[in-house]
Amino acid sequence: MKITVNNKNDTAYESMFDGLIKEVFGFSFAPWFERKLWDNNYTSYSIIENGYMLSNICVFKSELLINGEKAPAIQLGAVATRSDARGKGLSRHLIEHVLSQYPDTLAYLFANASVIDFYPQFGFHQVQTYKPEISVAINNDSATAIKCGLDDTVLQKAVYNRSVYSNLVDCTNSQSIQMFHLLMLYPNDIYYLPRCKTIVIATKKDSRLFIADVIAEHSLTFDKLIAELPFSGIYTVEFGFCPDWLDVSPTWKPAGMKTDPFFIKGGWKLPEKFCFPLTSTT
């Protein structure tokens, strides 16, 4: 089986890739492609037959921080095979090929619940992740936060000049992946806090606030941050990342092992409790 490799901005390849993703996962990469966000850190390995992409796996070359130490790794994602090509070992062939290219590199992935028995065959094992949250009252009727558009200069500058990260677990080179999440999941939930000079990605549901990400060029405390958040009636805040750099000591609630399966391979030295940054996942 011939494997085709592509690592950015080839419109014919993107069209084949998008067709596969739409069939298997039901969404389109088109907004991401249109903004030319596919960078050299993201590589697609695929099996193509007569101009038709049958199967794919993508590799994101990550620069991680784990317990404050740099840790190069690869993240596997977009693992997909068309329904009429399944049962032929295509995904297995792609995964084995990719892992052979990175034999001594940490590897990780977020699996679909339906295939959690598949990845242990390649040396991956599942580990427990957590959802950090705190109890806090937020009632800001006069906050100065400004809603941001996806193409606003202040957002672009913040994403690409980010310099503050968690010392527990974080990823320092996932700008293109962060933009994917903002495009696809949070286009209406992006706020610029001028007094903090910080971007916050946040959504409210009833009395809970989910902060998917905080993008900052400088250190700040959560107390300063919540004073500017444009929300009221909040009593619980959940984070989509490790909030240690915000001077927060959260309650760590176990994520579902079946609903949020996180798999790793290699000699990881993870903290006992952590949350992998949501906007750095593929």
Give 187-221 as a DSSP string.
TT-EEEETTTTEEEEEEEETTEEEEEEEEESS---
Q: What is the pLDDT of residue 144?
A: 84
Q: What is the pLDDT of residue 124?
A: 97
Domain 131-254 listed as CATH 3.40.630? yes
Asked whether 261 and 110 are in contact (CB, 8 A), the reply is yes
Asked whether 64 and 169 are in contact (CB, 8 A), the reply is yes
pLDDT tens by residue, 140-189: 987 889 999 999 999 999 999 999 999 999 999 999 999 999 999 999 99
Q: Looking at 6-15, 20-29, 57-66, 129-138, which range is the least confident one?
A: 6-15
Q: What is the pLDDT of residue 11?
A: 93
pLDDT value at 49 more than 90: yes
Which of 245, 89, 256 shows the shortest CA–CA distance to 164? 245
Q: Above pLDDT 70, what percent of the chain? A: 100
pLDDT tens by residue, 176-190: 999 999 999 999 999
Q: Looking at 37-51, 134-148, 185-199, 208-222, which range is the least confident one?
A: 134-148
**4-128+255-272 has which CATH code?**
3.40.630.30
pLDDT value at 7 more than 80: no
- 274/256: higher pLDDT: 274
Helices 175-184/153-161 angle, 10° precision: 140
By DSSP bridging, strand 52-66 and strand 42-49 are antiparallel
**Token pair in block for residue 155:** 């957002």
**pTM score > 0.85 for this model?**
yes
Assign residue 123 a region: left if phi > 0, alpha if psi is -120 to 50, beta otherwise? left
* One-letter identity of residue 89: G
Q: Do domains 4-128+255-272 and 131-254 have the same CATH topology?
A: yes
CB count in 10 Å sphere of residue 152: 15
**Token pair in block for residue 32:** 């991401």
> What residue ranges do the domains of the chain occupy?
4-128+255-272, 131-254
Asked whether 190 and 147 are in contact (CB, 8 A), the reply is yes
Model confidence band, residue 12 (pLDDT cutoffs 50, 70, 90): very high
Residue 18: half-sphere exposure toward Cβ, Cα within 13 Å? 14
Q: Above pLDDT 90, what percent of the chain? A: 93
Q: What is the pLDDT of residue 121?
A: 96
